[in-house]
Amino acid sequence: MPNAIATRQGPYVAPSALVRVLPHAARWVLRGDSSVMATAASTLGVPFVERPCQAAAQSDCAALWLGPDERLLIAPADAQSELAARLQTALAGQPHSLVEVSHRQVALEIAGEHAAVLLNSGCPLDLHVSAFPAGMCTRTMFAKTEIVLWRTAEQRFHVEVWRSFAAYLSKYLALAAGELAA
């Protein structure tokens, strides 16, 4: 039986002025062809972007492009059961994979004037706004951790990380933030 306390508590995140834990969310990884994506987009009310490495957000829901046939879907935690049922009903009969990953991942927000510089302390991507503009997302590495990185605004990033790596990632970011401040 799972530890009830562990499911209620968030992961440890090292304190930093530039990093905060985002509220718990519902998450699914959806795989399927273009008709599956169109059905899911209609069901969620989010227009899925067909351009590689782009995210779309509408209200509280988002769809992040992870591959030609793969999207990370993010929605409010309180809508998880209802949206899961709607997605399963809408996608019935279409070949697809819909995997709920809500408890696997944690979302962090890195925001501020030095957010891109802070992320570049462990991420090899060019995060200058001209190379990685708002709305862009990708699966990448930060130090030794796989993350999904989404630039939501010029000075704000949304990072999806596996729960078991959240403490490591946040400690790394806190150390790098300390060096930036010095």
Residue 28: beta bridge partners?
73, 100
Are 107 and 160 spatial neighbours (Cβ–Cβ below 8 Å)?
Answer: yes
Are 105 and 8 spatial neighbours (Cβ–Cβ below 8 Å)?
Answer: no
* Tens of pLDDT, residues 113-154: 999 999 999 999 999 999 999 999 999 999 999 999 999 999
The span from the CA of 62 to the CA of 128, in Å, is: 23
CA dihedral (116, 50, 32, 79) positive or negative: positive
How many residues in total does the chain contain? 182
Structure tokens at 128: 């200058």
Structure tokens at 2: 């799972």
In order of their start, the domains of the chain are: 16-181 (3.30.1360.120)
* Tens of pLDDT, residues 62-111: 999 999 999 999 999 999 999 999 999 999 999 999 999 999 999 999 99
